Structure 1
């Protein structure tokens, strides 16, 4: 054996032939399947996350119902009532004209009051013409500065003194809270007590008089005084429109 043969036996032969790679890809590794650990209550639900769509038909019905209620509240109640006072008509929140009162000799207007101190109830009587002339003069002097708003003397009425305990500025008019038809409107007007009314009662008067009844209390007070003035004198020489 020659040296060349010995070297060939000891050194392995390198395969330098060009063969195409295997056509089959290596198998994909297998991973164990993980079971969900979330409880069923926490699994997101597409239906539950969906934005609820408004019921258009129900929404329209509700809007129509609100509009009907709004119209009903703003309309005057035209049902006839038993006049609660000789100077009141059979219409709610409407008093007789001054000519009618004079021709029927209704010249004294009475109203019930209560003292906030001693809680005594009694009546106050006003002379019709004296009070009407007093309010007319007040309108003449202050109408330009009112700007369709009641002045402070109307929003915070100057209360009279008590005839029994003699306490000052403590007498309030007695105003029915349950039945608006029994409110003594002319007495409150002449005594300039309309500011003692609640906002709801002023809105009731404005609704009965077909007056727009939204706004602050001093606005509704002004409108109420003006409307009662026109009820007494439908064609006055004083322009307070």
Structure 2
């Protein structure tokens, strides 16, 4: 579903669950879709050739965020569903936390989005980010895989 489709249905925020490793509580976090998408998009705006089909370091090592309940820094991580079909991909994309997914999760997404799914985790993670961005902005040339960046 593209950004335009989401906005036409008045979906402007995406909510997902986050788990604190200290207080052990799960709570919800919401992201404004358009704002957070542009933050992700800005990583691709920098010379795509420099990424060489590898995930940006910010994506490969996402930092846990501050827990809104107990206030501890670097404590909360997104909850990733056990069943692959129930993973909240858009929430993970907007939170720039796809790096918490296992290689198996990422390969499964790439399989269903017809993206390359072989190679190291940073490569598969790159194609997951690229595939999700292409779903949100299908006509944007920036998210097309081209031979000039290989």
TM-score normalised by L of structure 2: 0.91
Residues 52-94 of structure 1, C-alpha deviation per residue, up to 9 Å, x if partnerless?
A: xxxxxxxxxxxxxxxxxxxxxxxxxxxxxxxxxxxxxxxxxxx
Quick check: which one's strand share is greater?
A: 2
* Structure 2 counterparts to residues 168-207 of structure 1, below 5 A: 168-177=73-82, 179-207=83-111
Q: Is the 8 A contact 1:114 1:174 kept in 2?
A: yes
Match of 1:80 in 2: none
Going from structure 1 to structure 2, the CA distance change for 1:146 and 1:165 (only over 3 Å counts) comes to same
Structure 2 runs not aligned, ≥5 long: 146-150
Which TM-score applies when normalising by structure 1?
Answer: 0.58
Question: Equivalent residue of 1:113, what SS?
Answer: strand
Stretches of structure 1 that go unaligned for 5 or more consecutive residues are: 1-95
User: For 2:72 and 2:49, how far apart are their aligned partners in 1?
Assistant: 35
List, as ranges, runs of 4+ consecutive aligned residues in structure 1 with deviation greater than 4 Å: none
Rounded to whole Å, the distance in 2 between the matches of 1:165 and 1:110 is: 20
Q: Are 1:212 and 2:116 matched, yes or no?
A: yes
Secondary structure in 2 matching 1:102 = helix
Alpha-carbon RMSD: 1.3
Aligned-partner SS, 1:238? helix
Higher RCO (C-alpha 8 Å, min separation 6)? 2
Deviations 1:157-207 (A, max 9, x none): 122100112111111111112x11110000000001100001111111011
For these two proteins, the number of residue pairs brought into alignment is 145
